[in-house]
Structure 1
Amino acid sequence: MSGDRAPRTRRLGLVVLRRLPLFGTLIGLGLAIWLVATNDLSAVAAAFGRIGFVGFAGVTLVRAVVVLVCGLAWARILDGLSPAPASACLILRFVREGINVLLPVASVGGDVLGARLLTFWGVAGSLAAASVLADMLFQVGTLALFAGLGAGLLSQVEGPAAAELAHWTLRTLAVAGLAVAAFFALQRTGIVRVVEDRIAALGRRFVRETEARPEPAPRIQGALDTVWAAERRGRLVQSFALHALAWLLGAAEVAVVLTCIGVENLSLSEVLVIEALSQAIKAAAFLVPSGLGVQEGGLVLVCGLFGIDAGTAIALSLARRIPDVVLGLPALLVWQNLEARRTDVRPATPTCDRP
């Protein structure tokens, strides 16, 4: 009986994992509906209407620049290691973003597919996966630093609500810092190699003696060692700096939208606080696709500290979703076009893996 129960438990666990993004979508949608329903719809509509075409174009342009900077950061990680040009990383960075914000997947689904699509340019699968893992580490690490900057600036704001949110953010960042350190250690200490060995051993147990043995899979740990090689430190520092710059540029989206709505008395530090903390709150709920509802709630909370009403905060969030659609839909079309042409792309050759 116990032997039968274990496979059923594993199957149930897999079903739950596959449906987590759907559960997150439903929870986020419910939160978004509740936020809109409990606030003045006319105030939201009025604030949203004041943004106008110039505001929507401005916020979309800023987002495009941010994604391009992130694409350059990914390209620096791969520089000198792969046959793929930097333009491939720029294109696929938009695809990664489009999948993450428009499809019902967790916020890392686009990154997984981005690694697979990179192999269409002749990059070894192990190297593509390693580059995305390093890229995600830099993205999360710089977000933590950006959120810390926001919390530090918020601690200078008078009021018990601001002080409590700043302290809560710093406590949360302490935990997040441990998670980032663990993610780095996972890539640098050979733990991935142990996991790969266990998976390979498990696979061999299910291969009958009469069946052909599968070819050894490319080693992700070897590719990670190549990516993190000491002589590549300059490229990695550049990638890290570009990700940090991307988070700072994101504050321009907040400034553009609020200026168009008519909120003009905010300082640069207040704009940075709004962007940093709202992004941190959204990232904490990464299982909710596109931060649906969470982004709106985070902006209502943080904007309220600076006297910005909930209607304006929700309008700001809705405006920031315009680039998700304007840039995301073409990115999804590019993805489908790449899939359709995949047979015309030369196969990957794992030249950069180490034994």
Structure 2
Amino acid sequence: MKGFVVFAAIAGIALFGGLVAYSGLGDVGSAVAAAGWATLFVVLIRAVVISGCGLSWHLLFPPEHRLPVWVAIGLRFVREGVNTLLPVAMVGGDVVGARLATFWRVNLSVAGATTIADVAIQAATSAAFAILGIGVLMWLHGDGPLVRYAAMGAAVAVLLIAAFFVAQARIGSRLLNALLARLGVKGTATELVERLWSSLAAIYAAPGRVARSTLVHMLVWIAGTFEVQVALHFMGYPVSFAEALVIESLGQAVRGAAFAVPGGLGVQEGGLVALCALFGIPPGPALALSILKRVAELALGLPALIAWQLLEGRRVFRRSEPDDAVTEPRQ
């Protein structure tokens, strides 16, 4: 697995380098310089987007186990930082976030269940956002090869997401327990699986909370469109909101499909070059747009990674206290 990740990273770097060479380093640099204050605006928009994701996660917690909203938002920044800046295949940050939630005396099963549900809802709304982008692209340009390829990709994504939701049903716990039994694992692990799935069932048994979380996630995806619109406007290539939505939605879909490539390096850039070309935007500004997005990831992700290490360090110094991260209080 590590070998594959290394290969994917090398391939992504090579693709990124090839795109820069094809676009012209000077053109890319000029576009980044022309962006100017757009960099700050993109960072601020990204901060709002991640905060919205934190709110969406917060809404999934049952009232008696609810993580404070400011903590949920802060930990969501950590989740995002780990997923975007470390080679963890876009899921390691969610594991870290669930663990850190237990530092605030949230049950481990509840923290894990809300994180699983949050990831599922995020994936579902991401697919819906991509489908919206395909519909807007058809409205702007009519049918074509790109629309058909995007539609096929969206169909595959919907099937995978549906399978993920099915796995969260009781059949998923039975399959996991059967696997653990075959591996000779008994006791605490199987009990934790049962508690985790019970917590998942309780989350989905509250459709109001799930609906509110889903709505916030969808609004967050749409809000991300302003990153594209603002950045391209400052670079001298203004696009309509509809055009920016197509670029953002399908660009996110392309990056999500390449989850094995650390940070989607090269893949995100290639997708944005192809999508921007639909609206007459040259490769240089398209690559500059991707660079601005990566600046936002660094500007927000690096402090989040530092905060993660500070939280873990404080935990080490408090080891003499009862460890609530592995217990199940208030059940």
> TM-score, normalising length from structure 1?
0.86
Partner in structure 1 of residue 134 of structure 2: 151
- 1:225 and 1:194 map into 2 onto residues whose CA distance is 16
- 1:247 and 1:215 map into 2 onto residues whose CA distance is 36
Structure 1 residue identity aligned to 2:250: L
Equivalent pair of 1:47/1:311 in contact (CA under 8 Å): yes
Partner in structure 2 of residue 332 of structure 1: 305
Pairwise CA RMSD of aligned residues?
A: 1.9
Candidates 288, 292, 301, aligned match of 2:265: 292
Shifted more, 308-317 versus 195-204: the winner is 195-204
**Are 2:107 and 1:124 aligned?**
yes
Number of aligned residue pairs: 324
- 1:203 and 1:84 map into 2 onto residues whose CA distance is 35
Instruction: Quote the offset at 1:167 in angstroms.
Output: 1.2
Instruction: Quote the offset at 1:169 in angstroms.
Output: 0.9
Candidates 22, 28, 44, aligned match of 1:38: 22
Partner in structure 2 of residue 262 of structure 1: 236
Equivalent pair of 1:218/1:350 in contact (CA under 8 Å): no
Partner in structure 1 of residue 251 of structure 2: 278
Secondary structure in 1 matching 2:23? coil
Instruction: Quote the offset at 1:351 in angstroms.
Output: 4.6
CA separation of 1:214 and 1:79: change in aligned 2, threshold 3 A = closer
Structure 1, unmatched stretches of 5+, are 1-16, 206-212
Deviations 1:6-36 (A, max 9, x none): xxxxxxxxxxx24433332222111111111
Equivalent pair of 1:66/1:250 in contact (CA under 8 Å): yes
Secondary structure in 2 matching 1:218? helix
Partner in structure 2 of residue 13 of structure 1: none
CA separation of 1:20 and 1:92: change in aligned 2, threshold 3 A = farther
State how 1:1-355 maps to structure 2 within 5 Å: 17-52=1-36, 54-82=37-65, 84-158=67-141, 163-200=144-181, 202-204=183-185, 217-219=191-193, 220-229=196-205, 232-264=206-238, 266-343=239-316, 344=318, 347-348=324-325, 349-351=327-329
Instruction: Quote the offset at 1:171 in angstroms.
Output: 1.4
Deviations 1:39-64 (A, max 9, x none): 21111111110011x21110000000
Secondary structure in 1 matching 2:106? coil
Equivalent pair of 2:19/2:270 in contact (CA under 8 Å): yes
- 2:190 and 2:148 map into 1 onto residues whose CA distance is 50
Equivalent pair of 2:89/2:262 in contact (CA under 8 Å): yes
Structure 2 residue identity aligned to 1:287: A
Instruction: Quote the offset at 1:130 in angstroms.
Output: 1.2
Secondary structure in 2 matching 1:331? helix
Instruction: Quote the offset at 1:124 in angstroms.
Output: 2.1
Instruction: Quote the offset at 1:322 in angstroms.
Output: 0.9
Equivalent pair of 2:114/2:203 in contact (CA under 8 Å): yes
Structure 2, unmatched stretches of 5+, are none
Structure 2 residue identity aligned to 1:21: V
Secondary structure in 1 matching 2:192? coil
Identity of aligned residues (%): 43
- 1:58 and 1:142 map into 2 onto residues whose CA distance is 24
Deviations 1:84-127 (A, max 9, x none): 31222111100011111111221111112111121111122222
Larger Rg: 1
Secondary structure in 2 matching 1:61? helix
Equivalent pair of 2:56/2:214 in contact (CA under 8 Å): yes
- 1:163 and 1:225 map into 2 onto residues whose CA distance is 42
- 1:71 and 1:104 map into 2 onto residues whose CA distance is 22
